[in-house]
Amino acid sequence: MALLKVARNISKVVARNRIFAIRSMTTSNDQDDIEKKRKYYITRQDSPYALGKHRSNALELLERQPIVEVDGPIAVCDGGGGALGHPLEYIKLTDLNEGKSVVSCVYCGIKYRHKKGSAHHH
C-alpha cells in the first residue's frame, strides 16, 4: 500500500511539472496570438443565409430557363451534350397526367412539353 501511495504522489508531481513546463515555454507573443484567436471565436457571426455561407442559386436559374417545346411524343435530354452533359434520358410527353403540362428531366431539371398545334399531341 505504501508503494502505491508513493507511485501516486510521484505521478502527480510529474504531471504538475509537465504542465508548468508547457506554460513556461509560451512567450508573450504566443499569449497575444491566443487572445486574438479567442476574440475571433467570440465575435464570429453565423451566416446570414439560411442554407449556409456558400449557397447556390441553381434552382432559381432553372426556373428562368424557357420550357422546351417538342413536336413528337418523346423528348430526349442530354443535359447540353458532350462531357458536360448527362446520360440520355427519354422523357414521355404522352403520359402527362394529373393536369401536368410540363415534364422535367430528372438529371438537369430542364422542362419539356408538347408544341402547341403538334400533330402528335394527345
β-strands 111-114, 68-70 pairing: parallel
pTM of the shown model = 0.49
Considering the four listed CATH numbers 1.10.3720.10, 3.30.70.141, 2.60.260.40, 2.40.50.90, the one that applies to the domain covering 58-114 is 2.60.260.40
Angle at 38 between CA 36 and CA 39, to 5 degrees: 65
Domain boundaries, the chain: 2-43, 58-114
**What pLDDT does residue 85 have?**
87
- Residue 30 identity (one-letter amino acid): D
Average pLDDT over residues 68-73: 91
**What pLDDT does residue 17 have?**
47
